[in-house]
Chains A and B, each alone.
Chain A
Amino acid sequence: MSLVIHNLHARVVGGQQILRGLNLEIEKGSVHAIMGPNGSGKSTLSKVIAGHPDYEVTEGEVLLDGVNVLGMEPDARSRAGLFLAFQYPVEIPGVSNANFIRAALQARLAAGEELEATEYYGDLYKEMDRLEIPRNFTARSVNEGFSGGEKKRNEVLQMAMLKPSYAILDETDSGLDIDALKVVSAGVNALRGPSLGILVITHYQRLLDYITPDVVHVLVAGRIVRSAGPELALELEAKGYDWIRDELSEAALAAEPVHA
C-alpha cells in the first residue's frame, strides 16, 4: 500500500512546465521528507497530487493504493484518503471551524447517515487539547484572523480529525515558534502509524529533529535529484543546495535551467 508518483510532468495551465518527470513512492507507515530550493516545485507537486485546477498533468500518474487519482475531483481524492496541509491555508469568512470540520467529516458518510454530535465534539476537543488549541477556536471562522502559527496548527487539527491514509505537509513548520513546533510535531507523531504515509515538505532540518523521516529527497527543477536517509538533511543544512546542483551533470542543467 503506497502513494506512487510516477514520471509526473505538470505545468501551469497554458503556462510554464514545473514538474519534469518526478518519481516518488510513499509507503503507508513511512515518513518521507522533501527539501529543495524556493521555486523548485514542492508546493506544485502537492497541489498537483491534490488536483488543483491551476495545473495540468502532461505525463505520468499518481496512484493511491493502486488507483490513479488524476481523473478524480479534488474532493473525491480527499475522501479517498489524501490530505494536504497547505503552505498558505485559506481563510473562509463566516464558516466556523467546528462547522467546517464537521461538514468535511459528514461528507465522508453515506447518504442518510448523520454525524453524531456529542461524539464529534468529544473527538474534536481531544485533538484540540493535544495540539494545545483553546476551546474558543471552534466558534471562530476558518483561519480568519489566525496568526501564521495558528493556521498551521489548524491544518494539523484537520488532519487529525479527517484521518487520511496519506498526508502531505507543505512547510507546516514555517511560522511556528519553537514551542509550537514541538507541540505540532508531537501532534503529527501521534498520528504516525501503519495506516498513514506522510510526506513533509520543509526547508529546515529543525523539523526533522522532531519528526524523524525514513527518507529525505531533494527536489530541484521539478524532479527528485537525490534520496537518502535523514543524514542528507543535515548535509543540506550545512552545505546548501549548490553542491547538489554542481554534482548534477552540467548537461542536464544546461538543458533545463532551475528557473526556466
Chain B
Amino acid sequence: MSTETLSQLDVDRTRGDFHYPEQHTFDAGSGLSHATVDYISNVKGEPDWIREFRHKALDVFFSKPMPTHWASEDLENIIFEKIRYYLANAQRPTRSWDEVPDDVKRTFERLGIPEQERKFLAGVEAQFDSEAVYSNMKKALGDQGVVFVGSTDGLKEHPELFKKWFGKVIPTGDNKFSALNSAVFSGGSFIYVPPGVKVKHPLQAYFRINAENFGQFERTLIIADEGSEVMYMEGCTAPKFETATLHSAVVELVALKGAKIQYVTVQNWSANVFNLVTKRAIAHEEAEVKWIDCNIGSRLTMKYPGVILKGRKARGEVLSIALANNGQHQDTGAKMIHAADETTSNIIAKSISIGKGRSSYRGLVHIPKHLKGCKNNTECDALLINSTSRTDTYPAITVRGSGNSVQHEASVSQVSAEQIFYMQQRGLSEAQAMSLSVNGFVNDLVREFPMEYSVELKRLIDLEMEDSVG
C-alpha cells in the first residue's frame, strides 16, 4: 500500500510537501486539558516532578493572553481545541534506519537525511510528529562521554544534569507559547558535551510533521561543559494542509566557561504552519554562542533567538535570514542581554519580502549601567522584491552607562526593474535574475554558514523565486 502511495505522489518542487496515511498507536486526541497532559506523561512513564511541571505550565498557558497587543492578529486563527497534541507510533527511537517503519523511513530518505548522515554528520535524531523514530550518534562520541538523546530519555537517564538547567534559561512563563510547550513537550534533543570535548562534525535533528491538525512541541536542551564545542543543526518540513498546523518549540542552550555552541536552523515549514518558537542561550565566562537562523517557510513565524551574556567576555551572535513570500509573515529578530563586563554581541539580520510577503525585525539589546566594556553591533537589512512587499523594524536598544558601545545600522533596498532587465539581457530568466539578486543580498551572511547548509539555502531561495514568478 505504501509503495503505491509513493508512486502516486507527484513529487512537488517543495520537497517536503507530501505525506503518508496516518497510523498512530498513541493519540492524545484533539483539544487541550489537564487530561491531555496526563495522557502524555503516562505514555512516556515520566517521573512525578515533570508531570507537576507540565500541569503548572498548562495553568500558566491558560492564564496568559495572546500577545496580539504587539504581535500579529493572525495568532487568533490558531484553534487550540482542534489541534492534536500528541501523536506517536512508538515510544523509543531505533538506532538503525532498517528498523524504522517503511513509510517513515521513506519520508526521511526523500528528505535526504540518511545520506547527509553518512556524508557529514556526527549524529542524527529524526522526529516524526511527536517522537523521534531514529536517533544515533557516532560511537566515538559516546566513548568520549557525549550524550545525544531525546528529551524524555534525557530527563530519565540524566536527571541531575537535566534538572539543573531545564526551564532555567527559558522559564515556563516567559511567554504564552513557552508555557504551552512546557505543558505538552515531546521530542527534541538533550545534548551534553563533557569538558574539553570538541565535537568536530555537526549533530543534526530533523523535525517532520506528517499529521493534519497537529501541534509539534519539541524541547531541546544543550549543555556544553567547560571548554567544549558543539554544532547542532536542525531542519524541518511538513506537508501543506488546508488547516493550520502548530509548531511551538522551546530550545535552551547552556555554554559553560569557554564553551562554544553553534545552533543552525533551516526552517522550511509549509505555508499553513504557525511557527512560534522560543530560543535562548546562557553564555558563561568567555563562552560563545552563535545562532544561525534561516526562516524560509511557515505561515507566521515568531522567533527571536537570544543570548544572556552572563560571564565576563562572553560572546553572543545571531545571524538570521528570513524570506517572506505571498501569505507569509516572518516576524524574527534577536535578543542580547548583557549581564557581565566586556561581553560582546553581534546581530546581523537580513530579510527578503516577495509579493505580498511581510517581514519584521524585532531586536532587543540590553546593557545595564553598571557594566563596562560591552559592545553590540546590530545590522538589519531588508530587501523588497515588489512594491507590495512589506518590512518593518522594531529595534529596542537600552544601553545605560558610558563605558559601552552600540552600533546600529539598518537599510531597506529594492530589486529594481533595471537590474532584472540587465540580467535578463544576459540570458537569465526573470526567476533566475531574482534569485541571483536575493542570493547576492544574503551572500556575505551565507558565507558564515556551514557549507552544506549554504547549498541547501541557495536551493530553497531558487525554488521560492521560481514559484514567485511562475
| Interface residues, chain A, with chain B CB atoms under 8 Å away | 50-54, 73-75, 77-79, 83-84, 86, 89-95, 99-101, 103-104, 107-108, 141, 158, 162
B436 touches A107 (CB 8 A): no
Let me know if B412 is at the binding interface, CB within 8 A: no
CB of B346 to closest CB in A, whole Å = 19
How long is the Cα–Cα vector from A86 to B422 in the complex, in angstroms?
Answer: 8
Q: Mark B408-421, 1 if CB is under 8 A from A, else 0.
A: 00000100111101
B428 touches A104 (CB 8 A): yes
Picked from A54, A90, A107, the residue with its CB within 8 Å of the CB of B419 is A90
B421 touches A103 (CB 8 A): no
4 A-B pairs with the lowest CB-CB distances in the bound complex, closest first: A94-B440, A95-B440, A74-B424, A90-B422
A75 touches B440 (CB 8 A): no
A107 touches B429 (CB 8 A): yes
B424 touches A94 (CB 8 A): no
CB of A67 to closest CB in B, whole Å = 16
A95 touches B436 (CB 8 A): yes
Interface contacts (Cβ under 8 Å), in number, total 82
**B440 and chain A: residue at smallest CB distance:** A94
B421 touches A53 (CB 8 A): yes
Given A92-B436, A93-B440, A94-B444, residue A75 in contact with residue B422 (CB < 8 A): no
Let me know if B112 is at the binding interface, CB within 8 A: no
B418 touches A90 (CB 8 A): yes
**A161 and chain B: residue at smallest CB distance:** B426
How long is the Cα–Cα vector from A86 to B432 in the complex, in angstroms?
Answer: 20
How long is the Cα–Cα vector from A90 to B420 in the complex, in angstroms?
Answer: 9
How long is the Cα–Cα vector from A165 to B439 in the complex, in angstroms?
Answer: 30
CB of B430 to closest CB in A, whole Å = 7
How long is the Cα–Cα vector from A155 to B413 in the complex, in angstroms?
Answer: 25
B429 touches A92 (CB 8 A): no
Let me know if B443 is at the binding interface, CB within 8 A: yes
B419 touches A103 (CB 8 A): no
Given A89-B422, A107-B432, residue A162 in contact with residue B427 (CB < 8 A): yes
A94 touches B441 (CB 8 A): yes
A104 touches B427 (CB 8 A): yes
Contacts of B413 in A (CB 8 A): 93
B428 touches A50 (CB 8 A): no
A78 touches B441 (CB 8 A): no
**A143 and chain B: residue at smallest CB distance:** B422
CB pairs A–B below 8 angstroms (18 shown): A51-B424, A52-B421, A53-B421, A73-B429, A74-B421, A74-B425, A75-B425, A75-B427, A75-B428, A75-B433, A91-B419, A92-B419, A93-B413, A94-B441, A94-B444, A104-B423, A104-B428, A107-B429
Q: How many B residues face the partner with a CB closer than 8 A?
A: 25
B421 touches A107 (CB 8 A): no
CB of A123 to closest CB in B, whole Å = 16
Let me know if B404 is at the binding interface, CB within 8 A: no
Picked from B421, B426, B428, B443, the residue with its CB within 8 Å of the CB of A94 is B443
B440 touches A78 (CB 8 A): no
B426 touches A100 (CB 8 A): yes
B425 touches A84 (CB 8 A): yes
Let me know if B437 is at the binding interface, CB within 8 A: yes
How long is the Cα–Cα vector from A253 to B119 in the complex, in angstroms?
Answer: 73
Contacts of B432 in A (CB 8 A): 75, 103, 107
Picked from A90, A92, A162, the residue with its CB within 8 Å of the CB of B440 is A92
How long is the Cα–Cα vector from A52 to B425 in the complex, in angstroms?
Answer: 9
Q: Mark B319-337, 1 if CB is under 8 A from A, else 0.
A: 0000000000000000000
B436 touches A100 (CB 8 A): yes
Given A90-B419, A92-B419, residue A50 in contact with residue B425 (CB < 8 A): yes
CB of B65 to closest CB in A, whole Å = 42
Q: Beyond the given A100-B423, A103-B428, A104-B428, please list 7 additional residue pairs across the A-B interface where CB-CB is below 8 A.
A: A74-B425, A75-B433, A83-B425, A92-B440, A94-B444, A95-B440, A107-B428
Contacts of A51 in B (CB 8 A): 424
Contacts of B416 in A (CB 8 A): 90
How long is the Cα–Cα vector from A90 to B416 in the complex, in angstroms?
Answer: 10
How long is the Cα–Cα vector from A45 to B440 in the complex, in angstroms?
Answer: 31
B427 touches A79 (CB 8 A): yes
**A83 and chain B: residue at smallest CB distance:** B425
How long is the Cα–Cα vector from A89 to B425 in the complex, in angstroms?
Answer: 11
How long is the Cα–Cα vector from A73 to B444 in the complex, in angstroms?
Answer: 31
Picked from B419, B424, B444, the residue with its CB within 8 Å of the CB of A78 is B424
Contacts of A162 in B (CB 8 A): 426-427
Contacts of B436 in A (CB 8 A): 92, 95, 99-100, 103
How long is the Cα–Cα vector from A92 to B432 in the complex, in angstroms?
Answer: 13
CB of A43 to closest CB in B, whole Å = 13
CB of B436 to closest CB in A, whole Å = 5
B427 touches A108 (CB 8 A): yes
Given A90-B419, A103-B432, residue A141 in contact with residue B425 (CB < 8 A): no
How long is the Cα–Cα vector from A94 to B436 in the complex, in angstroms?
Answer: 9
How long is the Cα–Cα vector from A244 to B422 in the complex, in angstroms?
Answer: 34
B427 touches A92 (CB 8 A): no
Contacts of B417 in A (CB 8 A): 53-54
How long is the Cα–Cα vector from A51 to B439 in the complex, in angstroms?
Answer: 25
Contacts of B440 in A (CB 8 A): 92-95, 141
Contacts of A52 in B (CB 8 A): 421
CB of B428 to closest CB in A, whole Å = 5
B427, B432, B441 — which one has the most chain A CB atoms within 10 A of its CB?
Answer: B427
B427 touches A78 (CB 8 A): yes
A74, A93, A100 — which one has the most chain B CB atoms within 10 A of its CB?
Answer: A74
Contacts of A108 in B (CB 8 A): 427
CB of A253 to closest CB in B, whole Å = 33
Picked from B426, B429, B433, B439, the residue with its CB within 8 Å of the CB of A158 is B426
**A73 and chain B: residue at smallest CB distance:** B424
Contacts of B428 in A (CB 8 A): 75, 103-104, 107
CB of B462 to closest CB in A, whole Å = 11
How long is the Cα–Cα vector from A50 to B421 in the complex, in angstroms?
Answer: 9
**A141 and chain B: residue at smallest CB distance:** B440
Contacts of B429 in A (CB 8 A): 73, 75, 107
**B413 and chain A: residue at smallest CB distance:** A93
How long is the Cα–Cα vector from A73 to B420 in the complex, in angstroms?
Answer: 12
**A93 and chain B: residue at smallest CB distance:** B440
How long is the Cα–Cα vector from A107 to B427 in the complex, in angstroms?
Answer: 6
Picked from A83, A95, A104, the residue with its CB within 8 Å of the CB of B437 is A95
How long is the Cα–Cα vector from A92 to B416 in the complex, in angstroms?
Answer: 10
